[in-house]
């Protein structure tokens, strides 16, 4: 079975509370998160968040995006092309 590492980039509220809600949601929905990187946007209350999710069918990433869009901490989200 081929496993792909899909990456999601998002603009989110800066801080541990928002990060905790985002990672907690992915954990509860049983997504396999392989990396998380969060960096504050200069002179703002927002941050850039990059999350890598391992996915075998390239369908789980779309479900993850759908779930993350529902969170109040997420303002923009997009999928980045898969890589092995």
Check: CB of residue 7 under 8 Å from CB of residue 50: yes
Mean pLDDT, all residues of the chain: 90
Crossing angle for the helix pair 16-28 and 60-68, nearest 10 degrees?
140
| Phi then psi dihedrals of residue 80, to 5 deg | -110, 145
Residue spans of the domains in the chain: they are 4-83
Section 13-20 average pLDDT: 95
Section 15-21 average pLDDT: 95
| Phi then psi dihedrals of residue 68, to 5 deg | -65, -30
- The CATH superfamily assigned to 4-83 is ACT domain (3.30.70.260)
pLDDT tens digits, residue range 39-75? 999 999 999 999 999 876 656 788 999 999 999 999 9
Is pLDDT above 80 for 10? yes
pLDDT at res. 38: 97
pTM of structure: 0.85
């Amino acid at each position: 079975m081929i496993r792909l590492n899909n990456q999601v980039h998002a603009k989110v509220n800066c801080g541990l509370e928002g990060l905790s809600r985002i990672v907690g949601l992915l954990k509860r929905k049983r997504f396999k998160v392989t990396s998380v990187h969060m960096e504050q946007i200069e002179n703002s209350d927002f941050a850039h968040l990059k999350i890598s999710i391992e996915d075998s069918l390239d369908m789980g990433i779309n479900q993850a995006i759908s779930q993350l869009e529902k969170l109040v901490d997420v303002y923009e989200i997009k999928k980045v092309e898969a890589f092995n």
